[in-house]
Structure 1
Amino acid sequence: MYIIFILCLFGQACIFQVYSIPVHIGMKHLKSAAKFWHISDLHLDPTYHVTEDHTKVCFSSKGVPAQDPGVFGDFLCDSPYQLILSAFSYMKQADLQPDVIANMTLTIQQFFPQLPVYPALGNHDYWPQDQLPTSPNAIYEAAAKLWSPWLNPEAVATVQKGGFYSMLVKPGLRLVSLNTNLYYSPNEVTVNMSDPVGQFQWLQEALELSRQNKEKVFVIAHVPIGYLPFAMNTTAIRESYNEQLVKIFRNYSDVVQGKPVNSIFVTPAVTPIKSLSEPFSNNPSLRAYLYQPDTFALLDILQFYLNLTEANLERRSEWKLEYIMTEAFSIADLQPNSLHQLALRLEQSQSKDFDKYFNHFMVSYNSSITCEGLCKIVQRPHTLSRDPSLGFCLLRLSAEEVMSLEPEFEEAHISIRDALKGLM
């Protein structure tokens, strides 16, 4: 059985959309490929409005003055509805015929009324934020009711129970939607629980059934396993849960010893995400994947973006193709071995590929911003599935390199002594 992980990061939920006809872009994969959209982090802020008092533009800035608010948003605010509408309008106008799409239910029903929906809960889908519960509640019940037109009765029942489900997309391909918000580090409800809502046991049973039926599986979820950029020494999911999920996925993957066998894709956000302590943000982004229709193997990524500054100045949205992954990084496809070779290139000290990666990580926010020193140390390891703790990373550096980074560690409120603690 082959498992593909498609995960959404920090936000309202994700959109999964499958296509069956080509777009008119010159790429080697297009003639035989099918496509799907993967959209994340809509983060609707219904309070957003342009006003002279920039501290009152949006509730999501938490009192911090918006920088340059316009009709399509501000880098310090979550998405206004106009930004979300422009994203869906662009998707609808694209030269593609969709088969499957998921979440932000009412808006999607407006733009794609005939399509089935496969939702995934996000950490902003519950209040208090991040504290998704381990028992049936009003939010799970409401989600199940909203999504019931697209889910079978068994899936509706597990959404009501814990916000997760499994559905057969087409013969030979199953989609599993996990509620990984239960494992999210800020979720205090699930502290010290071994298997919140019994989702681990349910997942093993679902994957075992797929193995018996010779199905390939797409796993969608919101909070990803593994380490994130700038996460220092902690996983987004609590380490014990992270280890359990990795163990389950390993047991149900086609493992060849010593070879990369799987990959995780974390899609950039529709909403801009920025804090005053960081120089970078991201432009709004939409991502489309190409895959082999008979094997469901991922082939390529087409990433589209909206230059938020230009859109606000011109008061109109013009979404553009940002990059095609195989062309941008000179790889054959999105298979694990190709991605592993790219990750090794990103690890090199002088890597033009890394500079290109970081610009796309920011979704072409500002090409003059570079990632060096400590920034590069904490960015690079998350591309590979190994322990990215700063301590282990520093042990690979020379003494001169370590000492040269001391000012950056002080600025980041972490000392080299702390980073190396317990490793000598």
Structure 2
Amino acid sequence: MRQMTNILKGFFPNIPIYAAIGNHESFPRDSFPPPEVPEVWEKFGIQWLYDTIADQWEKLVKGPAPSSIRFGGYYSVLIRPGLRLISINTNYCYRFNWWLLYKSVDPGLVLRWLVSELHDAEKRGELVHIIGHVPPYYTDCYSQWAHQFSRIVTRYSHIIRGQFYGHSHMDEFRLHYDVNSPQKPIGVQYITPNNGPFNNLNPSFRLFYIDGDYPETTRKVLDYETWVMNLTHANKFDAPHWYQLYSARRDLQLPTLDPYDWDQLVQRMAQDPELFSKYRRYQVQDSDMYAKRSCGEKCRRKVLCTIVDGDKLMPPKCHPHD
């Protein structure tokens, strides 16, 4: 972690960098005991990790680390006037974190803390971006936790203007629907692809364009572009070549990146095999390995159902096995 901090600082010396904790940071990997249970924390706690993270993040943002990092690996910070960034520790919903079998109700108290932060942001008139590692609607996150997260997003959807995650290694998104009105799209979980080759994928990175600094700014995600490096080409010519794979609005024909338009995209992909094939190529980062495998009707339904049925405790919108 110290090595990564130094690399990032070297390349971006004057840009604040805000991080989210992933499942490989702990040792043993995936092990995140609940810090609010004293008898557990005294024996098995990972205070060494949270203290290290706080120390490293202070260097990246050039300011004091919030105390919540040292408690549970999450934090909230005002990054622009009226724009708050909340970094959540989604290892407390991760199904391979076996401590969740010991304490399953809001381990790490992350959801309680998140509600408190959103409540205060609402009172102050702030807009919010959320970052995390495991997407709450990803299959690795417990569905009960994800549903409670859904309820929180429903309550505060008017101020949550972006959610950004990783972990899946693919280029994906998940849609939030209002828990009280299940047909109404209210949010998007953007899942950025990985910058390594795991598994049969090309290294990638993404640039988001956010509504900027002016009096009536919405702080919405206006567009994004994904860049990839083709490994077949790199191995053949012994030289990495990065190229822009796609731009969301241009190549997926999105009027805006609002939840409604993403929902409409799913409807269009369900009717248009060519459009889905294009999305599938983006999802797997233009991988030559995946290009050899077809994604037929069953595969297409599964991909599309996964986007709209992230909250397993809400009525399903489609049935992947029909």
TM-score band by shorter chain is 0.7 to 0.9
Q: Which residue of 1 aligns with 2:299?
A: 375
Mapped to 2, the partners of 1:118 and 1:384 lie a distance apart of 29
Deviations, residues 310-329 of structure 1 (Å, cap 9, x unaligned):
11222222211111111211
1:285 counterpart residue number: 204
Match of 1:250 among 154, 165, 178: 154
* Higher percent of residues as strand: 2
Other-structure match for 1:200: 111
- Structure 2 counterparts to residues 162-311 of structure 1, below 5 A: 162-191=72-101, 192-227=103-138, 235-254=139-158, 258-274=183-199, 281-293=200-212, 294-311=217-234
**Does the 8 Å contact 1:355/1:370 carry over to 2?**
no
Aligned-CA RMSD value: 2.4
- Select the residue among 61, 69, 77 that pairs with 1:159: 69
Q: 1:123 — aligned with what?
A: 23
Work out which of the residue numbers 341, 361, 364 in structure 1 matches 2:283: 361
Select 1:148's aligned residue among 47, 58, 74: 58
The two structures have a TM-score, normalised by structure 2, of 0.80
For the Cα contact (< 8 Å) 1:151–1:167, is it kept in 2? no
Partner of 1:327: 250
Percent identity between the two aligned chains: 30
Residue 124 of structure 1, CA deviation: 1.1
Go from structure 1 to structure 2 and tell me whether the alpha carbon gap of 1:376 and 1:212 turns closer, same or farther (over 3 Å shift).
same
Mapped to 2, the partners of 1:208 and 1:247 lie a distance apart of 14
The DSSP-based 3-state class of the residue aligned with 1:269 is: coil
Tell me how far 1:368 sits from its aligned partner.
4.2
**Does the Cα contact within 8 Å between 1:378 and 1:390 map onto a contact in 2?**
no
Shift of 1:380: 1.4
**Relative contact order higher in (CA < 8 Å, ≥ 6 apart):** 1
**What are the superposed Cα offsets for residues 84-115 of structure 1, whole Å, 9 maximum, x if unpaired?**
xxxxxxxxxxxxxxxxxxx9312101111222
Whether the aligned pair in 2 keeps the contact of 1:148 and 1:156 (CA below 8 Å) is no
Output the amino acid matched with 1:208: H
Corresponding residue pairs, total: 280
For residues 115 and 153 of structure 2, the distance between their equivalents in structure 1, rounded to whole angstroms, comes to 9
Q: Which runs of 5+ in 2 are unaligned?
A: 36-45, 159-177
Is the 1:300–1:326 contact (alpha carbons within 8 Å) kept by the matching residues of 2? Answer: yes
After TM superposition, the structure 1 stretch with the greater mean CA deviation from structure 2, 310-319 or 182-191, is 310-319
User: Counterpart of 2:274 in structure 1: which amino acid?
Assistant: K
Q: Offset at 1:125?
A: 1.0
Matched residue type, 2:234: A
How far, CA to CA, are the matches of 1:156 and 1:394 in structure 2?
43
Cα 1:184/1:394, change in 2 over 3 Å:
closer
Secondary structure in structure 2 of the residue aligned to 1:104: helix
The TM-score normalised by the length of structure 1 is 0.62
Runs (5+) with no aligned partner, structure 1 = 1-11, 13-102, 228-234, 275-280, 398-424
1:111 and 1:394 map into 2 onto residues whose CA distance is 44
Q: Is the 8 A contact 2:143 2:311 kept in 1?
A: no
